[in-house]
Amino acid sequence: MGDQRYGVDPEACQKIAQSVQELTQLGVQVGVVIGGGNIFRGVQATRGGMQRTPADHIGMLATLINGIALQQAFETLHCDSRIMSSITLDVMAESYSWKNALKYLEKGIVLIFVGGTGNPYFTTDSAAALRALEIQAEVLMKATKVDGIYNKDPIKYPNAVKYDRVSYSEVLASNLEVMDAAAIALCRENGLPIRVFNMLDHSLKAAVFNDPVGTLVVGE
């Protein structure tokens, strides 16, 4: 969305693509799970009377729009990428295949995962945790608008305290709403670390290479 109030900002897509390309040039394999909140939010639509399932279906299509926009940014950089969708969209995206995903990653191809999990009631966070585990990722990077996890909303409370490192259990017990509980629990069950950071303030490279940016969520 960039500085816009709605929609897709090509400049923002370009910045993300450049950050990801920098990683691939260093030999890092990257999968991107993309949301659609800049276009449509299913939860908000339900408040206007729309049922949750069709609202979430629209949200899944919004992720496809973002995925295509991001892939075009990769194309301008001559960075090879593939869009893989959890819902059938043969004309515009390849259906997700675990085996094909691993083959692409081994070749240094960036994967753009769209369509969430393919099911209503599951968030993009859950899709990210699921895909990260399936592709055997070493870490799940959560790019947000804040520079990590706080004990309370730092926008509302100036005295909010930021965690540099926190356990999965504490995130769940304290209801620290940076990711949904299902995603956190899935990562905890499988020992997948999560780094929460602000991509506008910190480089993706720094976060991936374990510089002390954002918040690291790990075991006890």
Kindly report, residue by residue over 22-79, the tens digit of the pLDDT. 999 999 999 999 999 899 877 778 888 899 999 999 999 999 999 999 999 999 999 9
Residue linked to tokens 């070749």: 107
143 and 132 both lie in a single domain: no
pLDDT band at 144 (very low <50, low <70, confident <90, very high): confident
pLDDT band at 165 (very low <50, low <70, confident <90, very high): very high
Last residue of a domain, one of 90, 115, 137: 137
The model's pTM is 0.93
58 and 142 both lie in a single domain: no
127 and 151 both lie in a single domain: no
129 and 142 both lie in a single domain: no
128 and 35 both lie in a single domain: yes
Looking at this protein, which amino acid is placed at residue 91?
V
209 and 123 both lie in a single domain: no
Residue 205 class from Cβ within 10 Å (0-12 exposed, 13-18 middle, 19+ buried)?
A: middle
3-state secondary structure of 112: strand
44 and 147 both lie in a single domain: no
Which pLDDT tens digit goes with each residue over 73-122? 999 999 999 999 999 999 999 999 999 999 999 999 999 999 999 999 99
59 and 83 both lie in a single domain: yes
How far apart CA 196 and CA 162 sit, in angstroms, is 11
Last residue of a domain, one of 137, 160, 187: 137
Tally the domains of the chain.
2
123 and 37 both lie in a single domain: yes
Which are the contacts of 183, defined by CB distance < 8 A and separation ≥ 6? 123, 125, 126, 128, 129
5 and 104 both lie in a single domain: yes
54 and 35 both lie in a single domain: yes
Structure tokens that stand for 39 in this block:
């276009």
Residue 193, domain CATH: 3.40.1160.10
Domain that holds residue 146: 138-220
